[in-house]
Structure 1
Amino acid sequence: MTSATSAASAASATAAPGWEDLVTSALLGTERRTPPGCAPGRDAPAALLDAAAVETVRRRAGLRPARSAERLAPAPDDHRPALPQAAARRLAMLLTDRPGSGSGGRRGTTPDLMELLPQWLAAANDRGFAAPPPSLPALLDAARGRTDLRPAALTFAGPRALWLARLNPDWRFALRAAPGGDASLPRPEDTERVRELWQEGLFAERVALLASLRARDPAEARELLAGTWATERAEDRLMFLDSLRTGLAAADEPFLEEALADRSRNVRSTAAELLSALPGSALAGRMAARALTCVWVEGIRTSAAITVEAPHECDAAMERDGVIPKPPTGRGERSWWFGQLLEATPLGAWSGRLGGRTPEESVALPVTDDWQSELHAAWCRAAVRQRDAAWARALLGTPTAPEAGGPGAVSLAERAKLLGILGAGERAEWVAGFIATHGLSEAFQLLGVCAIPWAAPLGRAVVDALNIARDAGNYPWSFSGVMGLAERCLDPGEAGRLDGLLAIPDESEDAAPGAGGYWAEAFQRLVSTLRLRAAMAEELGPAVPVTPRPAAARSPVPTPRSTSSSPPA
């Protein structure tokens, strides 16, 4: 380099300040620090901006060109019909809504659009529509934040959701959640790839593979698991074993019997639970033999009572069959063992032991020595595990019984589980009778298991109970959870019947301050939401039979969340 060139370069460096100098001057202000090469004074800010523009061009010009990236494969086509324009606009509104952060339980009269999104997606999927491409990013973002949305959102989004998920790490959940959607999962008939992924895949990939196979070919999935069972880690064996709940059948019994001898107590307990759900299994027979020696009937037919003699020890055979020897804190050992035996005993075994009595007659028998709650609670768990509707009805009793607990169920959670065994119509009728008798104070969990939209008798029972609570001057925020459920679950056709509840009622002296205004707002929001749901359905058009879609684009539709609002006090 010549001396002239060196001098020119030095002069250029002096005249052109570096980027860091320009940033420092901009932060401190030109009055406190004038950048090099700029004269102080009124023109210094403009000179700073000019220098920044020149330096920006210099920095960009100094970048070296890089090799162009490989062209992306185009997104797959979605051949389903496009959404009607009105429905597409509605979807955009649902995806951009952000619930307000009101205080004190007051939400105003505006419907909560995000809580209506699950129902909108279910309706759109029923009609077989494809998602508008511009809405896919917002739809995937919504599903990322709410796992309850994922099955319906991914069904609606279709194959393009998987294409996008491979480009954005934030949406990778779609590859795991979409049934058959992960391209890394081989088809069941590709046995070589199945074995390779099972032997060499990551744990999450192996879990997904086993779940996919179990849904399509339970026997093949079980054989795949059995081939490597002895070499798996205990925590992995537990997760893999849990996948057998899908398609559980008598053919799984030999494998589960072997799992009863597993080194891990949790694995043994899970295997025992699965076997006890098979009433014809050898384990169910062994547990029945033990349980039947603990329970018998004494006295004549008209004054009979159940006598209980709980086990005095938990031997090795009981422990192998899944009985956990150490009880939780505060629970007696004998009652703990007794409950586990009865929970795993086939309910069909009790008729012979209790003198040929029906489930209703068995539950109605008195139980000596304060064992009734333990006995009935164990029968409740057995009915839920074995999906026995006859015993569920007996343990629930009539909804108008004086005691809200029913003859057998001892908690709201147990009643909800028992109701889940019954058909949708019977479930709604029972809950409607319960609300009519006992009000809404204990009905929130029970409403959560009812089919949507609520049947007309159940909807009327809920609205009538809310109206009674308002007229009684009850504290209104205690019913915000039920009101939120009503917004999502009432039949939209009920909106016209509620117009008489929109006025602010006269407040009694003992009513909560401001309660009348709250109730009016809540009923206005309820009516507005029902009418909005009716408009949403009209925009989507009538439901029509849909041509079955490929498995990669199909998924179950979730029930809208029933716990987004606070439960009643």
Structure 2
Amino acid sequence: MTGTPAPTDPSAPAPTPVPWPSVVPTGSPPTDATAPPAQRRADSGTGAGTGPGTDADTAGSSPGADAVAGSGTGARSAPPAVAGAQPVPGRLPAASSAHASGSGPGVWEELVTSALLGTDRRTPPGGERGPGAAAALLDAAAAETVRRRAGLRPARAARRPDPAPEDPRPPLPEAAARRLTMLLTDRPGTAGGGRRGSAPDLMELLPQWLATANARGFAAPPQTLPALLDAARGRTDLRPAALKFAGPRALWLARFNPDWRFALRATPGGGTASPGSGATERARRLWAEGLFAERVALLAALRARDAVGARELLASTWATERAEDRLMFLDSLRTGLEAADEPFLEQALADRSRNVRATAAELLSALPRSALAARMAARAATCVSLDRTRTPPAIVVEAPHECDAGMERDGVVAKPPAGRGERSWWFGQLTEAAPLATWSARFAGRTAEEIVALPVSDGWQGELHAAWCRAAVRQRDGVWARALLGAPTAPDAGGPGAVSLAERAKLLGTLGAGERAEWVAGFIATHGLSEAFQLLGMCGVPWATPLGRAVVDALNIARDAGSYPWSFSGVMGLAERCLDPSEAGRLDGLLAIPDEPEDASPGAGWYWAEAFQRLVTTLRLRAAMAEELRAGP
């Protein structure tokens, strides 16, 4: 604006100010709010047709101002009566007097709608149809713009936020900091035809990078905190490692952006409930006043370092919690489950929620010396016996004929799922809840391997072995897990007790990392990769040398056979993240395009060469990442 207000008499009384509505201003204030809109347009030097949509008049205003400026016909010349009007203190222009008593988003939206549709089709608010409708619309928009800009009274300045806390951890080495920026911002290109191409998938390497950086105890560079929080927001699997690496400054930053509030919920008290003076009182206040997610995170964190304190905190409000909340809170007791939890869990068996009762029963059955485990053992023993009259002796199963109140109280669900018989359903629940030590005593001191090898009569073997699998996983019993897994080279690809690939994967989780890798390597060497994906996911990273070589050899065999390469994309992706980077040198011979057999998939050789190229490139990138993080700051 370049207009100059008319001189006034200093001795004259000040005009009464217009009671502008309280709306948020969206641009710079006008220089002369008292002049009529047409006069202000003339003063600005841009002509009467400039309107409130120009940069000089509405910079930063709402979308739609440009539409208002160009609406209707005759918008480039204001009516003489309006153009020659003199400013009257305390009054709005005539064009907007009809809506002088109301302002805000509703009026502005009506003006924008009229501008978009045209004044011939939509009469501006407070105006009339005719040749002056377009100019009246512009006048009303100008007045509304003034209201939107100048209608908010200045508020008191907010208190300056406390400075971000210091992070005492050593800074990242420079090369590692550059690598982190690349991992957070770069995206691999996609080759034609939907293929991944030979470029590594950098985002899939971020979890491993974060784990290594956390193990080394480095602090995140401050400039990477927003990108780290954004990455953790989009991928929940990244959150624990990302928030640990980001440190206390990320929690400080998260308070200023609602999109990052998950960081406060994931950390008990938003970082304020750390051990120390007053920590107990802060934890109790958060437990009483916090959001549900904050309370769950607090209970889980407290359980990890103080099992007794977490249990007492939960018991203090247990009776007043909602059923769905009680279920989630009870599930946190899996961490550090101990015999001292039994009294609380026994009380939960009488809970009014069936799901809560079932979870409490499951936890109690994981304590082999609990009273519930003893009750389940007595029930299961009456259902299973050894028939010594047969050669060899065989296991005989007599499933329960009813589900009484005592069984239901101990967590047995009476109604089976669709397609499942009642008796087999009840029998499976009893057997999986009984301590596995029950069976050695029941079968004359036989070992787990000997018991699993016994024949089972009347088609009950699958049901019995499946229940033992679940019991071995629940009780973390490696002896029974080995017996049920059997030898990895067995022709039936899973041993006598593993009824499914999922059961085998769960049983592997009870073994040590070395034994687990050795078993899966033997399985792959015998049965190939067709069923190995889920088993490989249970192995530690990086893969042990025998396992890694078994995977590479199996991939090479599949390539030479001309197999369909996309069938192995999942295993290849795992290999990129889990194979030891030192194996990259062994793969150089696989980068050439192989000769395709006559019955091979068309173009399979090119795809295999590309996949192995990506694998080698990723392994060497992982080796470089590890070296950068080993360097000193």
TM-score bin (small chain): 0.7 to 0.9
Return the alpha-carbon distance in structure 1 between the equivalents of residues 414 and 398 of structure 2: 17
Return the alpha-carbon distance in structure 1 between the equivalents of residues 472 and 386 of structure 2: 21
Map 1:265-304 → 2, pairs under 5 A? 265-299=354-388, 303-304=392-393
Partner residue of 2:578 out of 448, 468, 489: 489
Return the alpha-carbon distance in structure 2 between the equivalents of residues 496 and 170 of structure 1: 44
Query: Are 1:198 and 1:209, in contact at CA under 8 Å, matched by a contact in 2?
Result: yes
Map 1:195-344 → 2, pairs under 5 A? 195-299=284-388, 303-344=392-433
Return the alpha-carbon distance in structure 2 between the equivalents of residues 513 and 324 of structure 1: 53
Segment of structure 1 superposing worse, 404-413 or 267-276: 404-413
Query: Are 2:189 and 2:199, in contact at CA under 8 Å, matched by a contact in 1?
Result: no
Q: For residue 451 of structure 1, give the secondary structure of its aligned residue in structure 2.
A: coil
Deviations 1:129-176 (A, max 9, x none): 111111111111011111111111111111111111111111111112
Segment of structure 1 superposing worse, 136-145 or 180-189: 180-189
Mark the CA change 1:181 to 1:66 in structure 2 (over 3 Å): closer, same or farther: closer
Aligned amino acid, residue 281 of structure 1: S
Give the structure 1 partner of residue 52 of structure 2. Answer: 19
Give the structure 1 partner of residue 539 of structure 2. Answer: 450
Deviations 1:481-504 (A, max 9, x none): 000000000000000000000001
Quote how far apart the aligned CAs of 1:81 are.
1.6
Partner residue of 1:163 out of 252, 273, 276: 252
Partner residue of 1:123 out of 212, 225, 242: 212
Deviations 1:102-132 (A, max 9, x none): 6766211101100011111111112111111
Partner residue of 2:35 out of 9, 14, 17: 9
Quote how far apart the aligned CAs of 1:192 are.
4.4
Q: For residue 511 of structure 2, give the secondary structure of its aligned residue in structure 1.
A: coil
Return the alpha-carbon distance in structure 1 between the equivalents of residues 279 and 155 of structure 2: 40
Aligned amino acid, residue 265 of structure 1: R
Give the structure 2 partner of residue 503 of structure 1. Answer: 592
Mark the CA change 1:33 to 1:425 in structure 2 (over 3 Å): closer, same or farther: farther
Deviations 1:55-114 (A, max 9, x none): 999998998755433222111111222111111111111000224456766211101100
Mark the CA change 1:461 to 1:277 in structure 2 (over 3 Å): closer, same or farther: same
Larger RCO: Structure 1 or Structure 2 (Cα < 8 Å, ≥ 6 residues apart)? Answer: 1
Query: Are 2:229 and 2:250, in contact at CA under 8 Å, matched by a contact in 1?
Result: yes
Mark the CA change 1:533 to 1:204 in structure 2 (over 3 Å): closer, same or farther: closer
Q: For residue 408 of structure 1, give the secondary structure of its aligned residue in structure 2.
A: coil
Mark the CA change 1:74 to 1:505 in structure 2 (over 3 Å): closer, same or farther: same
Return the alpha-carbon distance in structure 2 between the equivalents of residues 58 and 191 of structure 1: 52
Return the alpha-carbon distance in structure 2 between the equivalents of residues 533 and 378 of structure 1: 42
Return the alpha-carbon distance in structure 1 between the equivalents of residues 181 and 357 of structure 2: 49
Deviations 1:453-486 (A, max 9, x none): 0000000000000000011111110000000000
Partner residue of 1:515 out of 604, 613, 626: 604
Unaligned regions of 5+ residues in structure 2, if any? 10-14, 16-33, 45-49, 58-63, 80-143
Quote how far apart the aligned CAs of 1:246 are.
1.7
Deviations 1:181-233 (A, max 9, x none): 44268869655444444344443333333223322222222223223322322
Mark the CA change 1:479 to 1:103 in structure 2 (over 3 Å): closer, same or farther: farther
Mark the CA change 1:198 to 1:121 in structure 2 (over 3 Å): closer, same or farther: closer
Give the structure 2 partner of residue 555 of structure 1. Answer: none
Mark the CA change 1:179 to 1:404 in structure 2 (over 3 Å): closer, same or farther: farther
Return the alpha-carbon distance in structure 1 between the equivalents of residues 181 and 289 of structure 2: 43
Mark the CA change 1:184 to 1:126 in structure 2 (over 3 Å): closer, same or farther: closer
Q: Give the superposed CA RMSD.
A: 3.1
Quote how far apart the aligned CAs of 1:298 are.
1.0
Return the alpha-carbon distance in structure 2 between the equivalents of residues 403 and 105 of structure 1: 37
Query: Are 1:88 and 1:132, in contact at CA under 8 Å, matched by a contact in 2?
Result: yes
Give the structure 2 partner of residue 151 of structure 1. Answer: 240
Quote how far apart the aligned CAs of 1:398 are.
0.4
Deviations 1:305-360 (A, max 9, x none): 11111111101111111000000000010000000000000001100111211111
Structure 1 position 372 matched with structure 2 position 461: yes
Map 1:443-482 → 2, pairs under 5 A? 443-482=532-571
Return the alpha-carbon distance in structure 2 between the equivalents of residues 283 and 104 of structure 1: 58
Return the alpha-carbon distance in structure 1 between the equivalents of residues 358 and 275 of structure 2: 32
Aligned amino acid, residue 212 of structure 1: A
Quote how far apart the aligned CAs of 1:29 are.
6.8
Structure 1 position 532 matched with structure 2 position 565: no
Mark the CA change 1:196 to 1:281 in structure 2 (over 3 Å): closer, same or farther: same
Aligned amino acid, residue 381 of structure 1: R
Give the structure 1 partner of residue 24 of structure 2. Answer: none
Q: For residue 237 of structure 1, give the secondary structure of its aligned residue in structure 2.
A: helix
Mark the CA change 1:220 to 1:126 in structure 2 (over 3 Å): closer, same or farther: closer
Structure 1 position 422 matched with structure 2 position 511: yes
Aligned amino acid, residue 116 of structure 1: L
Quote how far apart the aligned CAs of 1:426 are.
0.3
Query: Are 1:25 and 1:34, in contact at CA under 8 Å, matched by a contact in 2?
Result: no
Q: For residue 385 of structure 2, give the secondary structure of its aligned residue in structure 1.
A: strand
Segment of structure 1 superposing worse, 204-213 or 268-277: 204-213
Aligned amino acid, residue 274 of structure 1: L
Query: Are 1:105 and 1:480, in contact at CA under 8 Å, matched by a contact in 2?
Result: no
Give the structure 1 partner of residue 229 of structure 2. Answer: 140
Q: For residue 111 of structure 1, give the secondary structure of its aligned residue in structure 2.
A: coil
Partner residue of 1:432 out of 506, 521, 525: 521
Q: For residue 319 of structure 1, give the secondary structure of its aligned residue in structure 2.
A: helix
Query: Are 2:376 and 2:430, in contact at CA under 8 Å, matched by a contact in 1?
Result: yes
TM-score when normalising by structure 1? 0.86
Segment of structure 1 superposing worse, 429-438 or 505-514: 505-514
Return the alpha-carbon distance in structure 2 between the equivalents of residues 174 and 96 of structure 1: 20
Segment of structure 1 superposing worse, 300-309 or 247-256: 300-309
Map 1:69-148 → 2, pairs under 5 A? 69-100=158-189, 106-148=195-237
Return the alpha-carbon distance in structure 2 between the equivalents of residues 104 and 277 of structure 1: 51
Query: Are 1:256 and 1:271, in contact at CA under 8 Å, matched by a contact in 2?
Result: yes
Aligned amino acid, residue 277 of structure 1: A
Aligned amino acid, residue 39 of structure 2: S
Query: Are 2:402 and 2:423, in contact at CA under 8 Å, matched by a contact in 1?
Result: yes
Return the alpha-carbon distance in structure 2 between the equivalents of residues 505 and 194 of structure 1: 63
Mark the CA change 1:19 to 1:519 in structure 2 (over 3 Å): closer, same or farther: same
Q: For residue 402 of structure 1, give the secondary structure of its aligned residue in structure 2.
A: coil
Residue correspondences, number: 528
Mark the CA change 1:155 to 1:481 in structure 2 (over 3 Å): closer, same or farther: same
Query: Are 1:94 and 1:113, in contact at CA under 8 Å, matched by a contact in 2?
Result: yes
Return the alpha-carbon distance in structure 2 between the equivalents of residues 114 and 127 of structure 1: 20
Aligned amino acid, residue 312 of structure 1: H
Return the alpha-carbon distance in structure 2 between the equivalents of residues 261 and 188 of structure 1: 38
Give the structure 1 partner of residue 90 of structure 2. Answer: none
Return the alpha-carbon distance in structure 2 between the equivalents of residues 198 and 501 of structure 1: 57
Aligned amino acid, residue 378 of structure 1: A
Return the alpha-carbon distance in structure 2 between the equivalents of residues 436 and 242 of structure 1: 39
Query: Are 2:268 and 2:298, in contact at CA under 8 Å, matched by a contact in 1?
Result: no
Segment of structure 1 superposing worse, 416-425 or 84-93: 84-93
Aligned amino acid, residue 356 of structure 1: G
Return the alpha-carbon distance in structure 2 between the equivalents of residues 199 and 532 of structure 1: 48
Partner residue of 2:470 out of 377, 381, 384: 381
Fraction of identical pairs, as percent: 78
Mark the CA change 1:25 to 1:481 in structure 2 (over 3 Å): closer, same or farther: closer
Mark the CA change 1:3 to 1:244 in structure 2 (over 3 Å): closer, same or farther: closer
Return the alpha-carbon distance in structure 2 between the equivalents of residues 29 and 147 of structure 1: 48
Return the alpha-carbon distance in structure 1 between the equivalents of residues 386 and 71 of structure 2: 97
Query: Are 1:180 and 1:212, in contact at CA under 8 Å, matched by a contact in 2?
Result: no
